[in-house]
Amino acid sequence: MALLRIDNLNAGYGPVNVLDNVSLTVDAGEIVAMIGANGAGKTTTLMALSGIVRPRNGSSVVFDGDHIESLPPHEIVRRGLAQSPEGRKIFPRLSVLENLNMGAFTRKDRPGIAADLAKSFAMFPILGERKHQAAGLLSGGQQQMLAIARALMARPKLLMLDEPSLGLAPQIVVQIFEVIRDLNQQGMSVLIVEQNARMALKFAHRGYVLETGRVTMTDAASVLLTDPRVRAAYLGE
């Protein structure tokens, strides 16, 4: 059984339907990449999975064996689905530590929270060094680290990442993706939306291509990397 199974997902904003019967799966232990042009519906897909955008009639979202398409966002997080959003969306006036604690808002286990804070600081030492600093004073790369660490504080079974490389220097992008790979090797399942298709497919097991709200291709990431259509449209070749 897939950890996440989406069937015929339809969602949008007001009268506009952005997603048209999107279906995909993420198995336990997988990194799955979703690539596509701006406006293809990638972020809307993650927002619908998080409950921020409400899936429309006929949509089915099954996570860890249970339907979640009608649940509120906080309950979806509690079930084990957490998102690091596009643009980081940190709380700039709160400290790094306060941001991380916000990620654990559904939890009551204080010893576990303390242990996960220690893991965050081990994963991203700069966050430990600046834990009492206002998050808005961090660099872009450090804010991305904070956004990922904050999502991990929910102890998710599936981590969703929306454009983790956006606006970052190449060396920071490599560092972020190496952390994603390390998390996966420790057992974390990951669904990643990424404009940097080459990097996403290099680290993913499988991939989906979205075009104007529809899945148009899906295959092993290694196959998509060599597909002429993907290379021409998304890899600049």
Task: Please write the tens of the pLDDT for every residue from 134-178.
Answer: 999 999 999 999 999 999 999 999 999 999 998 899 999 999 999
SS (H, E, C) the chain: CCCEEEEEEEEEECCEEEEEEEEEEECCCCEEEEECCCCCCHHHHHHHHCCCCCCCCCCEEEECCEECCCCCHHHHHHHCEEEECCCCCCCCCCEHHHHHHHHCCCCCCHHHHHHHHHHHHHHCHHHHHCCCCEHHHCCHHHHHHHHHHHHHCCCCCEEEEECCCCCCCHHHHHHHHHHHHHHHHCCCEEEEECCCHHHHHHHCCEEEEEECCEEEEEEEHHHHHHCHHHHHHHCCC
Q: What is the pLDDT of residue 236?
A: 79
Mean per-residue pLDDT over the chain, rounded: 95
* pLDDT band (50, 70, 90) for residue 110: very high
Q: What is the pLDDT of residue 100?
A: 98
Q: What is the pLDDT of residue 181?
A: 96
Q: What is the largest CA-CA distance in the chain?
A: 51
What are 30-79's pLDDT values in tens digits?
A: 999 999 999 999 999 999 999 999 999 889 999 999 999 999 999 999 99
Rounded alpha-carbon distances, angstroms, from residue 38 to 42, 90, 103 = 8, 22, 28
Percent of the chain with pLDDT over 70: 100
Q: What is the pLDDT of residue 196?
A: 92
Q: Taking residues 192-209, report their average pLDDT.
A: 96
Using CA atoms, how far apart are residues 213 and 41, in angstroms rounded to an integer? 5
Using CA atoms, how far apart are residues 78 and 101, in angstroms rounded to an integer? 15
Where on the phi/psi map is residue 216: left (φ > 0), alpha (ψ -120 to 50), or beta?
alpha
Q: Taking residues 92-120, report their average pLDDT.
A: 96
Q: What is the pLDDT of residue 1?
A: 75
Q: Where do the domains of the chain lie?
A: 4-89+156-234
Tell me which CATH code domain 4-89+156-234 carries.
3.40.50.300
Above 80 in pLDDT, residue 118? yes
Q: What is the pLDDT of residue 237?
A: 66
